[in-house]
Structure 1
Amino acid sequence: MASATTPIPSDVFRWTCPLIVGYLLNFGLHGVLCVQVYYYYMAFPKDRVISKCLVFGLFLLENVQLILATHNTFTVFVIGYGNVDALFAVNLQWISIPITAAITSGTVQISFAYRIYLLSRSKIAGIIITAVALLQVASAFVVGVQYSHRGSLRDSDPKTNLTLALWFVGSAVCDIIITIFLTYFLSRQRTDIKATQKLVTRVTRLTIENGFLTAAVATLAAALCLPFPGTNYHVAPALLLGKLYSITYR
């Protein structure tokens, strides 16, 4: 039964729906990630050690994130069942959403900056991508700190909303920049060998698709953050960011 001291708010669905949708999709994407890592392990046994460390390091981090997300789910919907205040508790969301997602996205984006540098030998491109990536990572860490000091998720804070928006927008902008640079430099890799040109075309297409996917989710999170302060709407797409970056990283 509901808490005697805290009545059930009329907008309770605004808090429960994003959490349920976000956690369910997070669990589902983790299954996709497990398959991706298995295929990588089987297909590239002789890949560089640094590449293997990045892939399996991100996979380990996403496993930690899954454990934290599971803890949050049980705390809210099982242990806290019937307690309305549990719906608005911060719990470990301050680390399971912004911190882990920032580490994953920043690692992937900076690794792409290095790839672009190797492909184009353009230091400017690499510096721009790295700078934007570090900006969004720093914003996400600030969000985590801000949330860790909040007593309740219902306590709307304009500063936190702005930092959230900076995180999401920065992530989307970085993905768009990466997509533009990679598409441009790959399009210049012309060759008369059909098999090689076909491979370049395929890589270009995958780059555009992956960049669009992560940028679209980050943009959606930003769009749900600023217009709806003091709600949980942005949590659903935010929970997907880390998994999507890990899945699209190759």
Structure 2
Amino acid sequence: MADGGPAAIDNTMGASLIGVICAGVLYGVSCVQTWYYFDRYPKDVWYIKALVGTIWVFDSIHQCLISHTVYHYVITNYHNPAILGNMVWSILLEVLFNGFIGLLVQGFLTLRVWRLSNHNVPLLISIVALVLAEFACSLVFTIQSMQLITWAQLSQLKGLSMSVNILAAVTDALIAGALCFFLQRSRTGFKKSDTMISKLIMFTVSTGVLTSICAIASLVSIILWGQTLIYVAFYFSLGRLYSNSVLATLNARQAIRQLGEDSEDLSFSMHPTFLKTTAARQLNSNITTNISIKIDTSHQYDPDLTHLDRQPDSATTENSY
């Protein structure tokens, strides 16, 4: 958080306004994505729907809080420059809701790492520790900052501000790196499944890099311009990038699934069993014989990554080759 006086705050209130505008645009995108999700995937399991709904609620609260912050300084107290030296409660509370959004999104992605890595316990513990540490720092910062009055006093918590951004960047990079590693290791050598894996890797990198860059930009701003509010132009948008990344991931399932399987009976799942099954089907499709072969194929279904009406343990298909 900034630790300057009224002059420093006044000179950089424009950065806060830019941050609110950028966050507002991203909030509009997340609203559209939320509507698209509930319209397109009505048969998803309840806890994924609850995740999306909760993220949208926290997103909305966060947008209201940062909008109130700028309105308080720029509109309500336009002719009262003395108020610029004091903090308004909304800019402190928004840190907590940013933390809630990060906790939900990173927790969801951690679950994906857990499944794709075939239950790698040491990796899971490392990521969970980072996720919880980031949220704990956000919580402690909010509690302690609420007891302060002026921006100058807030300089006492600069270490916590930096810790939140450092942990966010490291956690996002680790999750994205782990997903890319296990996806790359799952390549089968068959064009269709490898194309799907390449798309997944590109998608994972793009979403993980955006949040990491935003957290790093916020951190650098705190270090270099700690007496201003320049950092909030990035931090206000961080939560929105988190929500849009998980919504984009959920909404892209149908398109990515079609890259790996034309049949409606096979669900998209980031799991090695699915990738091997896809490769096996491709191999069978290239074999030409005059006999009828019955293929019993086991599928690993991931309920939070599919919206199919039925989720059988196995599917039996009969094809002539």
TM-score by length of 1: 0.90
State whether structure 2 residue 64 is matched by structure 1 residue 67.
yes
1:144 to 142, 145, 156: 142
Correspondence for 2:167 = 170
Correspondence for 2:206 = 209
Correspondence for 2:181 = 184
Q: What's the offset of the Cα at 1:154?
A: 3.6
Q: What's the offset of the Cα at 1:168?
A: 0.2
Q: Distance in 2 between matches of 1:22 and 1:37?
A: 22
Correspondence for 2:218 = 221
Q: What's the offset of the Cα at 1:74?
A: 2.1
Contact 2:141 2:161 in 1 (8 A): yes
Q: What's the offset of the Cα at 1:9?
A: 3.0
1:30 to 27, 32, 44: 27
State whether structure 2 residue 181 is matched by structure 1 residue 161.
no
Q: Deviations over 1:23-66 (max 9, x none)?
A: 11111111111111122222222222111111111001111112
Larger helix percent: 1
Q: Per the alignment, do residues 8 and 248 of structure 1 end up closer, same or farther by CA in structure 2, a change over 3 Å counting?
A: closer
Q: Per the alignment, do residues 231 and 156 of structure 1 end up closer, same or farther by CA in structure 2, a change over 3 Å counting?
A: farther
Deviating more after overlay: 80-89 vs 30-39: 80-89
Q: Radius of gyration: which is bigger? A: 2
Q: Distance in 2 between matches of 1:26 and 1:87?
A: 22
Q: Deviations over 1:122-170 (max 9, x none)?
A: 111111111001111111112212321221224452x411110000000
Larger strand percent: 2
Q: Distance in 2 between matches of 1:246 and 1:110?
A: 12
Q: Distance in 2 between matches of 1:55 and 1:42?
A: 12
Q: Deviations over 1:1-34 (max 9, x none)?
A: xxxxxx97377312x1221111111111111111
Q: Which consecutive residues of structure 2, in runs of 5 or more, have no partner in the other structure?
A: 250-321
Q: Is the partner of 1:226 in helix, strand or coil?
A: helix
Q: Distance in 1 between matches of 2:130 and 2:145?
A: 23
Q: What's the offset of the Cα at 1:111?
A: 1.5
Contact 1:161 1:226 in 2 (8 A): no
Correspondence for 1:130 = 128
Correspondence for 2:236 = 239
Q: What is the CA RMSD across the aligned residues, in angstroms?
A: 1.9
- The one-letter code matched in structure 2 to 1:161 is K
Q: Is the partner of 1:69 in helix, strand or coil?
A: helix
Contact 2:8 2:227 in 1 (8 A): no
Q: Is the partner of 2:7 in helix, strand or coil?
A: coil
Contact 1:110 1:129 in 2 (8 A): no
Q: Is the partner of 2:230 in helix, strand or coil?
A: coil
Q: Per the alignment, do residues 62 and 8 of structure 1 end up closer, same or farther by CA in structure 2, a change over 3 Å counting?
A: closer
- The one-letter code matched in structure 1 to 2:93 is I
Q: Which consecutive residues of structure 1, in runs of 5 or more, have no partner in the other structure?
A: 1-6
State whether structure 2 residue 103 is matched by structure 1 residue 100.
no
Aligned length: 241
- The one-letter code matched in structure 2 to 1:140 is S
Q: Deviations over 1:206-247 (max 9, x none)?
A: 110111100000001111112333321211111011111000
Q: What's the offset of the Cα at 1:68?
A: 1.8
Correspondence for 1:117 = 114
Percent sequence identity is 23
- The one-letter code matched in structure 2 to 1:83 is N
Q: List structure 1 segments (4+ residues) > 6 angstroms apart after TM superposition.
A: none
